A and B are shown apart, each in its own frame.
Chain A
């Protein structure tokens, strides 16, 4: 445990000694902030007009969840598809390039310490992104009294989705010395996973059902509605385990080959 934490903390701190953390945080704050304020503006405009009509019987009741929170969180994933590769690309590629991987692999560590340390380190930076989300949402208190009961569900869903993406990126980063290559490969992999369920929208064949099942985007929808479903838990936990397992295998292969 201590080994994993030592590795993770170094990873996390390193993000802030390079421009990466600031670029990712700033880009995320701008893009997510844009989605959020757009839906918030719509909500405010709509509720103002409903109020102007005297809140007549026919007017639908306004739900801040449906109009602001769900769309914002729904868009968050695609933002991550772009930003997550920047977080994960350096994890192993940089160590391979500079030779510091030799330090890790000759220290009394288990391979899973090294991989979990990297994963947790990246997850900590991702947690900073989630803090930006929380900061945005806290604005809602000014206008409404949202129901905060689903918060733990959202948090769980976001952590799992981010964790899956980071696990995939961690694996890809073990494959090359070149950070850019790792970043681009991770981006395309995540984009594929995100868009997979587009193929399934019009058909009901086995193939499209499979696409739907594999699409990472499909496994946040229920969390977003405040519902925890077993299939979503299984999906994300499998994705995390698979990514980390492949990373471990890749590290072993590196040893045999290097």
Chain B
């Protein structure tokens, strides 16, 4: 459905997207995951025909975004980072306008409006002035706008940013419900988003693709030794020595202690039977086992692992400053 081949985008000297290639098949939900400034929005703008790539080619439904932008745009519904709403219009009027410019035949427009309002659960704001909508409804109307021409591909840029937790859950449910009929690309810098909605994750950082796989595979692929947290009552040195002597256990370290009880972090190999053996050892030695908790690598860890630069520990602090500077620059350019 979507083919991106060696696409780069430069803004003056700044490379926002650097030689990325990927494909998205019909019906997939793909999540772009990356920190702010990674190039997610830029990639989406290229796909939607808003920005031409500096080099490389991108195709949607077989049509090149530069050579055949109109055909591409007919096939894409796009929800930009800030929903493109006209505050002075009523919701239904706004959707009628969007339907018009998307080229929907006049006679189908009322039916399409009803359908997207229902789909996005926004029928109750049909006659509300867009400027008066709550944040959650603005996002839904933004999504309704993207769906109005029943596009094959949906491109959603940070569809849950700025929503409260309840709205986020609703929005995710909504996106999942759209999955069957549409190919969806969404971007986010929040991890739970991708694991809860996407069938595939493309991790992007500083304009490059760092990894691309299902959330499960990414976790498995990166899973180094897993750990178990054990809360044990018993003589400290004896417990530690006994656990360390158990085959399959790589390392035992003290996590925290309270009185006689110590929480141990036990690093183990991939053998699924080890946790059970470790529990047996503790119990048969006559010590008290209060709790046992396996700790897997979360996507969050993977993400950090994939996108952190070893050489620059302070980077996390620098990035927002750089971004701000870029924003200021952009303002200056426009003035």
User: Residues of B with Cβ closer than 8 Å to A?
Assistant: 11, 45, 48-52, 70-71, 73-74, 76, 78, 80, 82, 84-89, 97-98, 100-103, 145, 333-335
Contact = CB atoms under 8 A, between A and B. Distances in A.
Contact residues on A (Cβ < 8 Å of other chain), bracket:
20 to 34
A18 B88 contact: yes
B70 A106 contact: no
Interface stretch (A55-63, A95-103, A139-147, A211-219): A95-103
**Which 5 residue pairs are nearest across A and B when measured between Cβ atoms?**
A6-B100, A103-B84, A17-B88, A108-B73, A100-B84
Contact of A99 (B80, B98, B101, B333): B80
A109 B86 CA distance: 18
A3 B89 CA distance: 18
A11 to B, nearest CB: 10
Given A6-B101, A10-B97, A108-B103, A103 B145 contact: yes
A14 B49 contact: no
A2 B48 contact: no
20 contacts: A3-B103, A10-B89, A14-B89, A98-B84, A101-B84, A102-B84, A103-B78, A104-B101, A105-B49, A105-B50, A106-B49, A106-B50, A106-B76, A107-B102, A108-B74, A176-B335, A177-B334, A256-B52, A257-B11, A258-B50
A102 to B, nearest CB: 5
Nearest to A109: B101
Given A18-B88, A108-B73, A102 B101 contact: no
The interface centre, meaning the residue of A106, A108, A109 with most chain B CB atoms within 10 A of its CB, is: A106
Nearest to B71: A108
Interface of A: 2-3, 6-7, 10, 14, 17-18, 96, 98-110, 176-178, 181, 255-258
The interface centre, meaning the residue of B73, B74, B84 with most chain A CB atoms within 10 A of its CB, is: B84
B198 to A, nearest CB: 22
B187 to A, nearest CB: 15
A-side binding surface: helix, strand, loop or mixed? helix
A258 B73 contact: no
B35 to A, nearest CB: 21
A99 B50 contact: no
A109 B100 CA distance: 10
A176 B73 contact: no
Contact of A255 (B52, B73, B98): B52
Contacts of B334: 96, 176-178
A176 B70 CA distance: 26
Contacts of A104: 101
Contacts of A176: 334-335
Given A14-B86, A176-B335, A178-B335, A102 B80 contact: yes
Contacts of B51: 255-256, 258
B50 A3 contact: no
A3 B101 CA distance: 6
Given A3-B100, A177-B334, A106 B86 contact: no
Contacts of B333: 257
Given A102-B50, A108-B73, A256-B52, 18 more contacts: A3-B101, A3-B103, A6-B97, A6-B100, A7-B101, A10-B86, A14-B88, A17-B89, A100-B84, A103-B80, A103-B101, A106-B73, A107-B102, A177-B334, A181-B335, A255-B50, A255-B51, A258-B45
B86 A110 contact: no
A52 to B, nearest CB: 57
